[in-house]
Structure formats: structure tokens, C-alpha cells
Amino acid sequence: MKRAALALLAKNMSPPNLSLMQDEGFSVGRLKTEILSGLTVALALVPEAVAFAFVAGVHPLVGLYAAFMVGLITALIGGRPGMISGATGALAVVMVALVAEHGVEYLFATVILMGVLQIIAGVMHWGKFIRLVPHPVMLGFVNGLAIVIFLAQLTQFKDPTDPEAWLSGTQLYAMLGLVGLTMLTIWGLPKLTKAIPAPLAGIGITAFVVIAFGINVPTVGDMASIKGGLPSFHVPFGEGEGLYPPALLAPFNLETFYIILPYAVILAAIGLIESLLTLNLVGEMTGKRGGASQECIAQGTANVVTGFFGGMGGCAMIGQSMINVKSGGRTRIAGIAAAVFLLLFIVAASPLIERIPLAALVGVMFMVVIGTFAWNSFKIMRRVPRLDAFVIVLVTVVTVMEDLAVAVVVGVIVSALAYAWQNARRIHAVTRESESDPGAKVYEIEGPLFFGSAEGFTELFDIAHDPDHVIVDFQRSRVADQSALQAIEAVASKYEAAGKTLILRHLSRDCHGLLSRAGHLIVDSDDDPDYEIAVDYSVRTGILGGH
């Protein structure tokens, strides 16, 4: 289990490689696969972007412009070829309160600040901390996201004329049948040929059946018109010329900054967490590593740009990324093609795209759900420790009930506390008489000494009944933090107050200076450890004043 987690989360930063056909080798067949995969993704992006725009309370074109610009920029300079980014529901649910209270102008300014924060995270290489996400959290994230994608598709079974009513009768049966047809095509076509991405064929066949036989089922056009022009540049107090209601950026001043900062921080965190976890997942499927900091910078750049062009911002999309990878998309060309096709849909092909039945896109997403959900987690949960199984279920539930960022943070905190508690219980001592100093008692400390085990460490000693000479041997232990140093100081003080001699052995040499009172009790040995965790922590934070 640990090896699997390390294999999934280890990330070695590599230099940016912007080659469009990176590691794949250029060929006509590869180019065709990439372009067709991009077309499939673009078709699936349309209803998602429109739906998320509705969730955020903005015009559908705001979501479509975000999907185009974020998708294009991250495809060009992102950390993982094959990933797809765009407007997402995780960000939309945070945006809705800002738009409702302050207006869409402040949303665009927030997206710009969000991008700046993400760029800073990339420059500071903070993306590497995603490796701290344990494997059970990753499994819970994948399962929770699969359930979220599934639940999001259920809204497509509502009557377009009455959003509160569900489809029924012939329309419902037709919808279910078309969804099944799409899924069957995606499942069966690869057994016959791989010349065309199965999801694209599924969409095409289902759309043909609906149009040819005049079947009355909801289409993309029933959600909203996606017709528009090129996104226009917005400046403070400038005039917007987009084909949706003109929207301006909020004025750049301190008042605006105080309003948008909390939202920007939350959006930046959610966007980076979802993007970096998706980066890991795609990397696991494609056998690639690294790129966390590069992905942070790419996401930030994309959001800064989209904010100025009237987009709602975005991040990596696991559903569309899975569609792309499973359709054969492995290079940057697929992501670029998806963005270009999406723009063409908006500018020139909206009447055609609006005729695509939603059942076809729902069928594609249902297959994504089946492929994304970690079905082996049911078997894993019977074999791993109960706590890991609990974390998998917890993260899955929180992802569905709240959002991805909260779920990941909760999972990491629970895992970290459990790890600390388990290690805190490992501290113990083996006592014996000293061979070199007759009459002296030796405490051989075993287990890590840190904040969690500091109290247990002090309880190991029987100061009142110990002889006048006591030796504490740390050869099988390790001093990890300032709390550990304070515990050693406290024990030394108690022995000193009792008029007894205490000797400390096998402590790292940096402890000599850090232990202000007990430092003189340390006995040097040739086999003293040379780790410097304690000095790294204590010196940088100024703990144990003057050392």
C-alpha cells in the first residue's frame, strides 16, 4: 500500500517541455487521434461549461469563454500533456455568493487575483506539497468525484420547460435508451476498431439517430444558446463588447481588494488542489511524473488572462481529462484542439452543436464515471488498516456533501493525526544496569520523540526510585522537534532537583547547543547520529532562545 502511494504521489520536477508531440513521436495517425480526441472533449465541455455558468449565476458565455481560454493556455504550458482544464463546478459554487452580493464585475477581478496567487504558488514550488496527500485520500477523492460527476448528470433528466419537473413517459424512456446506446457504442467500438475515439462515435451515432428519426429529447440548445463572438478584453471602467450583457472589471482599489481577497484565496486553493490531484491521476494513467509547479503557473496564467477577457476562471477537469486520455489524447495537441473546437462552436457552429442530444453527452459522462471510480477500493478496504478504510469513505462522503478542497484537507488532517497518534504510542524504554558504570541504570529509548510522544517520554522515568547515576540512551530513538527538546530538558531538571546524575547518550551533535540546560549532560560518541531535523526546526523558528 505504501509503495502504491509513493508511486502515485512522488513528483520529481522536470524542466518544462513545450513540444506538442512530447514523448509520443509525430505521425499522421497520432495527429488524427489527438484532434479527434480534442473534438470529443470539446463536445463534452459545452453542457458542462453552460451548467457551471448557471451555478455561478452568470451568462453561459462567461463559462464557455473560461473553458476556451483556460483550456488553451493550460494545454500550451501546463505541467501534464493530456490534461483538460476549464470552468468547473467546484469553483462555481464558491463564485455564486460573490456574484449575488457584488456582481459579475467583482467576479472577473477575483479570477485575476486568484490567478496571481496561483502563479505565486508555482514560483514558490508549493505544488510539491501535494505529495503529502496519502493514497487513501486519493482513492476517496477519485470515488467522490466519480459520484459527483454521476449526480451532476441526473439534472439532464429534468424537463427543459420546467426545471423542477423530471422527464416522464416516452421522453424518459427515449432518454434512457439513447444513454444506453451511447454507452454501448463506447464499450463495444474499441473491440472492432480504434480509428475513431469511442466517445466521439457514441455522440455521433446517438445524434444521428435522434435527428434522423425526429426523437423528442432534450438537446444542448434547450439549456441555452451558445452563439457568441470572440471574447473581448475588459479593463477597469472600460466598455465590454462581448455578445453577452456588457460586464466591466471592478475598479482596482483597496476596497475592491478587501472584498475579493477571501474569495480569491479559496478559489486559488480549490483550483490548485483539484488540478494537482488530477495531474497525479493523469500521470498515473500515462506513466508520467513531475510538473506540479509548472501546472500551478499555467493555471494562474490562464485565470489572469480569462479574468481580463470576461471568463469565470477554471481549473483542471477530471471528467474531461479522463475522456481525453481514454480517447487516445496524450499530447498538448488534444487540449489545444479541444479549445479551438470549442471556440468554433461558439462563433460558427452553434446551430449544429445545439442539436446534439444531451443523452449522448450523459452517456459519455456515465462511462467516465465507471472508468474513474476506483472499484478495487472495495477490495482494498478489506485489507488495509481500518483507519485507512475510514479515510477512504470519509473523503468520498465529504467530496459529495461539501467539495473537493474540504474533503482533501479533512482527509490529510485525519491521516496526519492518526499517524502522529500511532507514533506517539511507540515511545517506550528498555531498562538495564550499565555494564561500564556498575550501579547505574540505563534507559534505552525506542521510538520517535516528538510533540505527540513528549508526555509519554517523561512518564517513562521513575526518578524517585532510580539510583544516583542514570544514563538515557537515544540510539534507537530520534529527536524530532522543539517539544522533544523541552521534554529532555524537563527530565534533566527533575533529576537535577533530586540530586542525581543524568547522562545523555547518542543524541545528534546539534542537540548540544539546543539543549540549553541539559547540553552539558551529553556524552560524545563516535556513533552519534548526524541528523539535523531538530536544528532545522529550532534555529529557523528561534525556539530555545539564543541557540
pLDDT in tens, 199-240: 889 999 999 999 999 998 988 888 777 888 778 776 554 444
- Pairing relationship of beta strands 469-479 and 522-523 according to DSSP bridges: unpaired
Least confident of 125-139, 228-242, 458-472: 228-242
**Other Cβ atoms within 10 Å of 195 Cβ, number:** 11
**pLDDT at position 244, please?**
44
Asked if residue 5 has pLDDT above 60, the reply is no
Each domain of the chain, given as residue ranges in start order, spans 2-11+28-416, 428-541
CA torsion through residues 295, 301, 304, 310, sign? negative
**pLDDT at position 2, please?**
39
**pLDDT at position 530, please?**
60
Better-scored residue on pLDDT, 307 or 511: 307
Find all residues with CB under 8 Å of 120, minimum gap 6, and list them.
300
Mean pLDDT of the residues in the chain: 83
Least confident of 147-156, 245-254, 426-435: 245-254
CA distance 387 to 351: 53
What is the helix (H) or strand (E) element at residue 202, kind and residue range?
A: helix 198-213
**pLDDT at position 547, please?**
32
Q: Coil, strand, or helix at residue 366?
A: helix
Find all residues with CB under 8 Å of 166, minimum gap 6, and list them.
157, 158, 159, 172
**Other Cβ atoms within 10 Å of 462 Cβ, number:** 11
Q: Which CATH superfamily is domain 428-541 in?
A: STAS domain (3.30.750.24)
Least confident of 158-172, 243-257, 332-346: 243-257
Asked if residue 246 has pLDDT above 80, the reply is no
Span 256-285, average pLDDT? 89
Span 332-342, average pLDDT? 94
Least confident of 26-40, 185-199, 251-265, 533-547: 533-547
CA distance 197 to 176: 22
Which region, left, alpha or beta, applies to residue 233 given φ > 0 means left and ψ of -120 to 50 means alpha? beta
Instruction: Kindly give the residue spans of alpha helices, DSSP state H, lying in 21-103.
Output: 28-56, 60-77, 89-102
Least confident of 160-164, 170-174, 349-353, 503-507: 160-164
Query: pTM for this structure?
Result: 0.73
